Amino acid sequence: MALNRRNFMELAAATTALSAISLSTASAQEGDTLRMGIAANNPRHSDPNLTTQGSDNWATEQMYEQLVRPDDGRFALTPEEYLPTLATEWTQSDDAKVWTFKLREGVQFHRDYGEMTSEDVVFSYERAIAEGTNKTILSNIDSVVANGPYEVTITLKQPDVNLLGTSIFNNNTSIISKKAYEEIGAEAFATDAVGTGPYQLVEFDPEFGTRLTRHDGYWGEKAKIANVECVYIADTTARTLALLAGNVDIIEAVRAPGWIDSILQRDPTLIIDMTVPGSFNTLHINLTREPFDNLLVRQALMHAIDRPAVAAALAPMGGTMNGLQPEFFPAGFATEDLPEELRYPYDPEKARALLAEAGFPDGIVFDSNCSQREDYSSTMLIVQEQLRAAGFNMNLIIGDHTAYHADNRSDKNTLAMHSSSYPPIPTQIYFQQLASASEVKADGSGGGNYSHYGVAMPGIDDLLTQALTASDYETYLDLCKQIELQVLRDLPLIGLSTLGFTAVRRAQIDLGYEVQSGYARWRFHRATKTV
């Protein structure tokens, strides 16, 4: 690639940044190492039960496994599409409350911690239920009991015909070694966890990232590339140029307007992998902060945001959300199917009128925190400009991505944008972002309901309980649609857009499968690399 002066200056900046994190060029170009550039400053955890920033899951995805999982590169759309993983077969009772899993024999934990047995599965689940970061998702589990060394029975409080998707295939219910946890200790285990996946942890470096190596005792087909390195490069220019220079093989893309076209102009051989729908970008309205406790203000906010324009600005990655589900997902609504009063078309004049009716004829001024990561900052900067035209003067305070999530978890935000991937199981986002049981706490011990919905005002808890105890899928879907409408009436949470999670890789990397949908991470065990 020929460098012009601008390229040279950028590359110089990138080299400086890469040098600061001890990234050597030579090893990245070796065929036995796949190196990925992660869009965050530092890793926080390698324990799948503790991860709260999605970036860390690129490493945990390689190191840990669940009882079942979908095929690589996609979500399972039906229970029948889940594949045996650490469980080889499973049955459910007629009322979908008792699930029994037969475990795969001979599965070895990393670093000679021995064979995985039902004792490890019970330990992993009980730990996730008690202290994991997704406790609410697992709150329906009444007990996990071992029936001998290779069989486990999970009993639910209420039926769940979607258990494989809601709870079993979940980062938090990855199976870890009980023996390793007891020997290493709880504190050190946060960055030194032991799993069964195709790669095992070699080093967790808070300044660099994580280094993994192939697990030669893996029960399945061994990983084709010997080493994986997840190196944290938050700086956009440094990360982009590290890819263009061949210092890394894959990077988390910059999910900002025009970026894909820009990088393909620089190197048309690069390959784009993108999930559809990808992340659900939602905007939490903190109901405990005035004047957002006023429904008229929230309605004004909704009319002030041009959501189709937000999605269009992020093309080809962006998609529109009329409620909290994409239109083509279960419980999703097309605009024309919504009651007219819940469509909230972009109308800044109406927003101003609603603000005046609420007692704010001169508009309102407020602070809002935002992550520096491009998908967050570019989306919120668009929203900021749209709001300004309607009388909302939002002072956007942009900071470190890791700190941003920590602040949200401590209830320090007013309008908190959140980006997360969800499977086609609508109740997951309701559980995590709207249920009163997930209410955020100032001490950080709560969940992802940053709005305080269901606590500051009545929420959707009753409807959610009914949906989760429905005995047939049609009733389940109808209740989920009722939740969608209730949220559009109350407006504790706004669906801003979907955003395909995107990674860019050099042509020398073949993943071994096509990325279609799924969470914002994918496995590298089938990947090959040509030098």
pLDDT confidence of residue 148 = 96
Question: Is the distance from CB of 319 to CB of 497 less than 8 angstroms?
Answer: yes
Task: For strands 415-421 and 279-285, give the pairing.
Answer: antiparallel
* Strand positions, DSSP E, 372-486: 392-399, 415-421
What's the burial of 331, exposed, middle or buried (CB within 10 Å: 0-12/13-18/19+)?
buried
CA angle 483, 487, 489 (to 5 degrees): 115
524: Cβ contacts below 8 Å, ≥ 6 apart = 34, 62, 199, 223, 225, 228, 511
Kindly compute the dihedral angle of the four CA atoms of residues 131, 137, 141, 146, in this order, to the nearest 10 degrees.
Answer: -60
pLDDT confidence of residue 85 = 98
pLDDT confidence of residue 497 = 92
What CA–CA distance (Å, rounded) separates 379 from 310? 7
Tens digits of residue pLDDT in 49-68: 887 667 889 999 999 999 99
For 124-184, the DSSP string reads: HHHHHHHH-TTTTTTTTEEEEEESSTTEEEEEESS--TTHIIIIIS-GGG----HHHHHHH
Low-confidence ranges of the chain (pLDDT < 50): 1-17, 19-21, 24-28
Local structure of 500: helix, strand or coil: coil
258: Cβ contacts below 8 Å, ≥ 6 apart = none
Q: Is the pTM of this model over 0.85?
A: no
pLDDT confidence of residue 276 = 86
pLDDT confidence of residue 37 = 96
pLDDT confidence of residue 424 = 83
The two tokens of residue 348 are 């800044």
